[in-house]
C-alpha cells in the first residue's frame, strides 16, 4: 500500500488513538489485554486502514481475538471517527502480524541461552 506523507501522519495518529481505545473502551474479554497494535497502513486516499495486530497466546486465543476485533470493527470505527477529525473515517481491516510470533521465539531462545 503506497503511503503519502499525510497518510503516514494519519496512520501514526490512528495507531495511537486505536491503542488507547483498545485499552480503555473495548470490554470484550477476547480482545482485552491480548492485542498489541504493531503498525497501521493507510492508503493515500485515506479510505482503508490496515491494522496489523500481534496477539499474545496460542492459536486458539489468536483466533478468538481476531474474531473479537472483527465483531467490534463497526463500534471501533464509530469511536475513531469521534477521536480523529477527518472528513471520512477509514474502513478498518484487522490483520494478524506474524512478526510478533517470531519476536517471541527469539526472546525465548535468548533467555534459554542465558540459563
Q: Which long-range contacts (CB under 8 A, 24 or more apart) does 31-40 make?
A: 31/65, 31/68, 31/69, 31/72, 34/61, 34/65, 35/65, 35/69, 36/100, 38/97, 38/99, 38/100, 39/11, 39/15, 39/97, 40/11, 40/12, 40/14, 40/15
pLDDT at 100: 67
- How many domains does one find in the chain? 1
The band of 2, judged by pLDDT with boundaries at 50, 70 and 90, is low
Model pTM greater than 0.85? Answer: no
pLDDT score of 92:
93
pLDDT at 16: 93
CA 91 – CA 3 distance, rounded (Å): 16
Chain segment 51-98, per-residue pLDDT in tens: 999 888 788 888 999 999 999 999 999 999 888 888 888 999 999 988
Structural domain containing residue 60: 5-114
Q: What is the CATH number of the domain that holds 93?
A: 3.30.300.20
Write the pLDDT tens digit of every residue in 11-41: 999 999 999 988 888 888 888 777 889 999 9
Amino acid at each position: 500500500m503506497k503511503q503519502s506523507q499525510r497518510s503516514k501522519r494519519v496512520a501514526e495518529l490512528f495507531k495511537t488513538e486505536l491503542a488507547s481505545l483498545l485499552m480503555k473502551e473495548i470490554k470484550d474479554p477476547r480482545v482485552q489485554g491480548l492485542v498489541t497494535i504493531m503498525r497501521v497502513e493507510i492508503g493515500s486516499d485515506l479510505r482503508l486502514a490496515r491494522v496489523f495486530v500481534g496477539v499474545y497466546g496460542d492459536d486458539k486465543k489468536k483466533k478468538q481475538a481476531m474474531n473479537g476485533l472483527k465483531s467490534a470493527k463497526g463500534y471501533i470505527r464509530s469511536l475513531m471517527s469521534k477521536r480523529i477529525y477527518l472528513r471520512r473515517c477509514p474502513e478498518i481491516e484487522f490483520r494478524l502480524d506474524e512478526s510478533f510470533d517470531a519476536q517471541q521465539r527469539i526472546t525465548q531462545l535468548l533467555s534459554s541461552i542465558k540459563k
